[in-house]
Amino acid sequence: MEWTDQGLVLGVRQHGETSVVLELMTAGRGRHLGLVRGGRSRRLAPVLQPGNTVQAIWRARLDEHLGIFTIEPVTSRAARLIGDSGTLFALQTLTGHLRLLAEREPHPALHGAVEAVLDAVAAAEQPQWFDFATFIARFELILLEELGYGLDLSTCAATGAREELLYVSPKSGRAVSRAGAAGYEERLLPLAPFLTGGPSNGAPEELRDAFRLTGHFLSKHIYGPRGLREPTARTELLTQLDRLISVQAV
């Protein structure tokens, strides 16, 4: 068995004294693992950093085997992404989300979106973790859909209206309009406009609302049933947001 594809490095774990088990997110093969001999060497260790893109050749006797990767660098952006704590937490959150996907199940749209945003952030003169975080909030919404738990944000669950959709029901995952939410606002989750293609006001509070919404359904449908906790990197990312909100409130 053999195939070749480009993949985003999600992480590695040590295997023996010199090798590593590499975890990639590829366009055609999904999340895929394989052994990299000499993966801890001076030549390969900097290449096998989360956020980098590599060209991978995977070989195994049988498809169900772990297999062996032969790796060549394609895009080295990890150093740029980990230079700031905010973009580091954002990167770790994103790679952690990709690990929620089933192994060897292709998600080409997710792979392409992630590659594009990492390129944009790494190429920026001064990477903005806030913009990175906005992408991640949108990504979490798409991730829920890819995993079979998509939210219905097209019409109001109470009135059927398509305008002024300001809230989401924490039970059904359906949008609720201003009129439909009257008297029940405190029981609903705020819906950030940019999650449905609307304009963003660029305020940290709006982004916090978006993460609160996606986080609720990730906990309900993914973390809880799998016995997982919210990733530490995501918690740290939200802590930075809270600090930014506090500073602006002074």
Residue 250's pLDDT is what? 47
The DSSP bridge partners found for residue 8 are 25, 53
Q: What are the pLDDT digits (tens) for 200-245?
A: 777 889 999 999 999 999 999 999 999 999 999 999 999 988 887 7
From the list 136, 156, 158, 155, the residue with the least C-alpha distance to 234 is 136
The torsion angles phi and psi of 132, rounded to 5 degrees, stand at -60, -45
Residue 249's pLDDT is what? 54
The two most distant CA atoms of the chain are separated, in Å, by 63
Q: What are the pLDDT digits (tens) for 145-171?
A: 999 999 999 999 999 999 999 999 999
CB 147 within 8 A of CB 221: yes
User: Domains (ranges, CATH) in the chain?
Assistant: 2-76 (2.40.50.140), 80-153+191-249 (no CATH)
CB 215 within 8 A of CB 230: yes
Spans in the chain with pLDDT lower than 70? 127, 248-250
Does the pTM of the predicted model rise above 0.85?
yes
Amino acid at 124: A
